[in-house]
Amino acid sequence: MALVIHTYKGNKGANKALIAAEYAGVKIEESADFQMGVTNKSPEFLKMNPIGKVPVLETPEGPIFESNAIARYVSRKNGDNSLNGSSLIEYAHIEQWIDFSSLEIDANMLKWFAPRMGYAPFSAPAEEAAISALKRGLEALNTHLASNTFLVGHSVTLADIVTICNLNLGFATVMTKKFTSAFPHVERYFWTMVNQPEFKKVLGDAKQTEAVPPVPTKKAPQPAKPKEEPKKAAPVAEAPKPAEEEEAPKPKAKNPLDLLPPSPMVLDDWKRLYSNTKSNFREVAIKGFWDMYDPEGYSLWFCDYKYNDENMVSFVTLNKVGGFLQRMDLARKYSFGKMLICGSEGPFKVKGLWLFRGPEIPKFIMDEVYDMELYEWTKVDISDEAQKERVSQMIEDAEPFEGEALLDAKCFK
């Protein structure tokens, strides 16, 4: 009996096994008349997989479900080969990257992809959290690929096959060039792999989406057509009543920060002083800041990136910080920030100082800017002279800063 894989055409889980088969020299037949929603609900199929999911591989020894398990079986069908490494440690690293790809890349990418395609309810906060987690995974993958052509060893392994199949769905649906450009080593790796003959035979010509699909809109239910009533004699004319449907437009809700008591500190005045001070910065701008600062109306915060050990590549780290500042644009009216990238070589440390309107970090920023959760936030105690001096040094881009050279300093104003 030949191996038969049951699924619909183009299923990324099945593609893992089909590509592995190309490398391992295993023949797999694809089920001819499979219909998703019909075949996988039949009693015959449910005997192979009780929950009716695809793919399922039918073998002489019995059926196998779960795509990674199927790919592992296929990769070993004709005995040991390079797909599974040449040593115990290589085998462990292959398993490590398969798990990483499944949990850090695929799971988070699907949380972004599925609601956009209408397969799951859409939630903006959930999408932001998924994208943030996906970026974290891609940053780690990018760092590894900066010095490695393949995930493990010096040739294609099952780890590469699983990872590329997961990435392929993302590239094709939600991961635009603008998104993936922050991960150049991942891009290089992806396009190299998908153009290998074994991959190309299964995947065809891989393409990258030009836009993220819009959020599906729910059609408003149409009101039932009222039944026609017999015509009555026209009543005596009355003064016209205003149509209930035509309500006056409601005023736009104010940002809670606009409702705070007035502050003697005018943020635009500080930003102007910062921008226009070209010399004697400490004596003019820094002194001016502390003269203006209103601890009742504003608060100062230090932030430290949680995953500095991943910041091995300078331009990737700079892009990461630049993206954060772009997404902070919605807070420009209420904040001022300095971001320092410290170190002469990786891993680079990202440290920041932020001035926010109000006594806490504004809730709408925490809700809308997913990067915020990637940093540890500490409120500045200005009664502590050491913390106050650290604020001054960060505003003026003092170098060296805390014993390290500055790769770059970025200002948000």
Decide: 164 and 196 in contact? Cβ < 8 Å. Answer: no
Which CA distances in Å does 191 have to 136, 187, 332, 369?
21, 6, 38, 30
* pLDDT given at position 268: 94
Closest CA to 328 of 379, 370, 275: 370
* pLDDT given at position 296: 95
Across the chain, mean pLDDT equals 90
Distance CA 268, CA 271 (A): 5
Note if the bond before 400 is cis, omega within 30 degrees. Answer: yes
The three-state secondary structure class of 219 is coil
Which run of H or of E encompasses 342? strand 335-342
79 φψ region: left (φ > 0), alpha (ψ -120 to 50), beta (else): left
Decide: 332 and 357 in contact? Cβ < 8 Å. Answer: no
* pLDDT given at position 250: 56
Q: Where in the chain is the domain with CATH 3.40.30.10?
A: 3-76
Decide: 13 and 54 in contact? Cβ < 8 Å. Answer: yes
Could you tell me the two tokens for 320? 């990461």
Distance CA 157, CA 155 (A): 6
The three-state secondary structure class of 151 is coil
Which numeric CATH code is attached to 267-412? 3.30.70.1010
Could you tell me the two tokens for 177? 């060039």
* pLDDT given at position 237: 47
3-state helix, strand, coil in the chain (%, to 5): 45, 15, 40
Q: Where in the chain is the domain with CATH 3.30.70.1010?
A: 267-412
Distance CA 8, CA 34 (A): 6
* pLDDT given at position 136: 95
With vertex at residue 236, the alpha carbon angle to CA 232 and CA 241, rounded to the nearest 5 degrees, is 100
Distance CA 43, CA 376 (A): 53
* pLDDT given at position 327: 87
Q: Residue 362 gets which letter from DSSP?
A: -
Which numeric CATH code is attached to 88-203? 1.20.1050.10
pLDDT in tens, the chain (413 residues): 689 999 999 999 999 999 999 999 999 999 888 999 999 999 999 999 999 999 999 999 999 999 999 999 999 998 878 899 999 999 999 999 999 999 999 999 999 999 999 989 999 889 999 999 999 999 999 999 999 999 999 999 999 999 999 999 999 999 999 999 999 999 999 999 999 999 999 999 999 999 999 988 765 445 555 555 555 544 544 444 444 444 445 566 788 899 999 999 999 999 999 999 988 999 999 999 999 999 999 999 999 999 999 888 888 888 889 888 988 988 999 999 999 999 999 899 999 999 999 999 999 999 888 889 999 999 999 999 999 999 999 999 989 999 999 999 999 99
Residues 6+ apart with CB under 8 A from 218: none
CA dihedral 158→174→177→352, nearest 10 degrees, is: -100
Q: Where in the chain is the domain with CATH 1.20.1050.10?
A: 88-203
Q: Residue 106 gets which letter from DSSP?
A: I
* pLDDT given at position 249: 53
Decide: 270 and 314 in contact? Cβ < 8 Å. Answer: no
Decide: 152 and 94 in contact? Cβ < 8 Å. Answer: yes
Decide: 331 and 369 in contact? Cβ < 8 Å. Answer: yes
Distance CA 300, CA 288 (A): 16
CATH topology for 3-76 is Glutaredoxin (3.40.30)
Paired with 352 in beta bridges are: 303, 339
Could you tell me the two tokens for 53? 């999911």
Decide: 409 and 345 in contact? Cβ < 8 Å. Answer: no
Paired with 63 in beta bridges are: 58
336-346 per-position pLDDT tens digit: 999 999 999 98
Q: Residue 105 gets which letter from DSSP?
A: I
Model-level pTM?
A: 0.55
Distance CA 413, CA 409 (A): 13
231-276 per-position pLDDT tens digit: 554 454 444 444 444 444 556 678 889 999 999 999 999 999 999 9
136-172 per-position pLDDT tens digit: 999 999 999 999 999 999 999 999 999 999 999 999 9
Residues 6+ apart with CB under 8 A from 251: none
Residues 6+ apart with CB under 8 A from 66: none
Closest CA to 7 of 61, 76, 65, 74: 65
